[in-house]
Amino acid sequence: MNTTTLDQIKDRYYGAVGTPERDQLECELEALRIGLRIREARLKRSMTQEQLAERIDKNRSFISKVENDGTNISIKMLLDIIERGLGGKLNIEIQL
């Protein structure tokens, strides 16, 4: 049985790492991961979207949008959600 890895599938359909299409895909996937991590942290704190939104002076629909699609969120807003809203600490890692 031949097994195909996720990276091989991404290479086939989006091109190798470093191509514009692949870079766009990786960026979108990372944004999705951010939203999922925020949702997981909120649920771990037993908070509703409404409660989190109140803590950062936003609407519940904003939290829903961030959790479902983390694109176009500023670093400042991400800091507010994590630190002020969830009481956590944001660490950003840069890999070259």
Provide CB contacts within 8 A for 57, sequence distance 6+.
none
Report if residue 91 sits inside a domain. Answer: no
- What is the residue range of 69's domain? 6-85
Report if residue 32 sits inside a domain. Answer: yes
Domain count, the chain: 1
Report if residue 43 sits inside a domain. Answer: yes
Instruction: Check if the beta carbon of residue 80 is closer than 8 Å to that of residue 55.
Output: no
pTM of the model: 0.79
CATH number at residue 48: 1.10.260.40
pLDDT over 80 at 1, yes or no:
no
Residue-wise pLDDT tens digits, 50-67: 999 999 999 999 999 999
Report if residue 96 sits inside a domain. Answer: no
Residue matched to tokens 């956590």: 88
Residue among 73, 66, 77 nearest 40 (CA): 66
Residue-wise pLDDT tens digits, 2-44: 899 988 999 999 999 899 999 998 888 888 999 999 999 999 9
Report if residue 95 sits inside a domain. Answer: no
Report if residue 20 sits inside a domain. Answer: yes
Instruction: Check if the beta carbon of residue 22 is closer than 8 Å to that of residue 32.
Output: no
